[in-house]
Structure 1
């Protein structure tokens, strides 16, 4: 028997194809869909993620779920996500599952300090984790992530991170009030080491996309830095660039 989220996704696809939810209109909210179909909100989220990966809908935090197409436009097994704002990144964290593999307290030596663009001697909590899709238990992991979190939050992370579903920055803001003012991001090509390749069910040396993100507070201090490795066939990064209207002269 198919999972409930898959059954719901199929039902929603049929409704969209039949014109019940027209292209350009919003779907009912997660809460409304859960009540209409007598399922949990987590089931609704998993179903919507399937539709999003098929190119049928797009989702924006605070703006609802927009119907983009009446039929699937994407068939790739890669995870395709548009990440243009901090809210998009939070939504990505909410729509996938982080699985913590290891935690260790570290003191930055010269090499690590350079990598983190910090100072030697600063304390960090190093977390190794993978991210997996919530809509396909059989799918290989999306990515491997090394997180370096300000050592002041080590106890909080050890206590709560393994079961916390949302972004690390959100947990720090909830418990300590320290907010992300800016995310500085770098993307480069990389290869997979033997250990990481085995964990991701990939081949050693396979091409990968390495995304570095530095989460900076209002004082300009990075208190989280993450290095994520995505096998090349499992993740597509989308960005929309808009031309600003010329000012009148």
Structure 2
């Protein structure tokens, strides 16, 4: 689901970082922090608002996304506008659509193995080289006809490996299993879409020629403390998948 960055509704919810972002947005709109002014430092905001540094950083990222501030960690944040810009940002309202997608398809676990993050993988994930993770290759097919719709490589931290036994016998998404069985809460999902070429392994299970153009959807799931809980890189045959997005524009 999408929401326009041009309104205060761009920061919904009752998470701590959402409430902090709305409070800072109000301070900017009221002139407490005028255009050109520097916001208090991260440590000062932590002390003043009684929240974690990660919460502050997430809230500041929201304000940067809607064009209210500029700057970065270590440099400081400066007010660049008193109201959100008219450009649009896209974010997830909930995981309902993702859960429904999982329920409407059948997931087959093709392989799973323990891996040690290489330097390249660690840089990609923003983690440390040498960490133990699980790598799972899954195939989703239509519930009735069994036609392949998605080939995914899923990475999860090693400590979540206990959910994989259930994943092999359930259509439930792995991130949903992590929430239910591990007591975690998915508070943020970041998604990017690109065009990729199917390698031999993906091409075989999707029934497309190797090197064929496919839709690549990468999702990163973050928990309430900002930890990365899962990364999924999914390839869809171009002619079998359609991604619809609705944008609501506030006047």
Q: TM-score range by the shorter chain?
A: 0.5 to 0.7
Q: Aligned pair 1:119/2:97, yes or no? A: no
Which residue is equivalent to 1:232? 238
Gaps of at least 5 residues in structure 1 are 1-82
Q: Tell which deviates more after alignment, 189-198 or 175-184.
A: 189-198
Matches within 5 A, 1:77-88: 85-88=94-97
Q: What count of residue pairs does the alignment treat as equivalent?
A: 160
Paired with 1:195 and 1:153, the residues of 2 have a C-alpha distance of: 25
| Partners of 2:124 and 2:192 in 1: CA distance | 12
After TM superposition, the score normalised by the length of structure 1 is 0.61
Aligned residue number for residue 197 of structure 1:
203
- TM-score, scaled to structure 2: 0.61
CA contact (8 A) 1:84 1:239 kept: no
**Is residue 2:166 matched to residue 1:164?**
no
Q: Trace 1:28-47 onto structure 2 (pairs within 5 A).
A: none
- Mapped to 2, the partners of 1:132 and 1:182 lie a distance apart of 26
Q: CA deviation at 1:215?
A: 0.4
Query: Does residue 218 in structure 1 map to residue 224 in structure 2?
Result: yes
Is the 2:163–2:174 contact (alpha carbons within 8 Å) kept by the matching residues of 1?
Answer: no
Tell me if the contact between 1:169 and 1:179 (Cα under 8 Å) persists in the aligned partners.
Answer: no
CA deviations on 1:193-236 (whole Å, 9 max, x unpaired) are: 12321221111111111100000011111110000011111100
Whole-angstrom CA distance in 2 between matches of 1:156 and 1:205: 33
Aligned partners of 2:167 and 2:173 also within 8 Å: no
CA distance change for structure 1 residues 172 and 195 in 2, over 3 Å: closer, same or farther?
closer
In the TM superposition, residue 84 of structure 1 has moved relative to its aligned partner by: 6.7
Residue 106 of structure 1 corresponds to 115
Deviations 1:111-145 (A, max 9, x none): 111222322122111000111000223x3x10110
The 4+ residue runs of structure 1 with deviation greater than 6 A are: none
Q: Secondary structure at the match of 2:168?
A: helix
Please state how far the C-alpha of 1:178 moved relative to its aligned partner: 0.4
For residue 150 of structure 2, the aligned residue among 137, 143, 153 is: 143
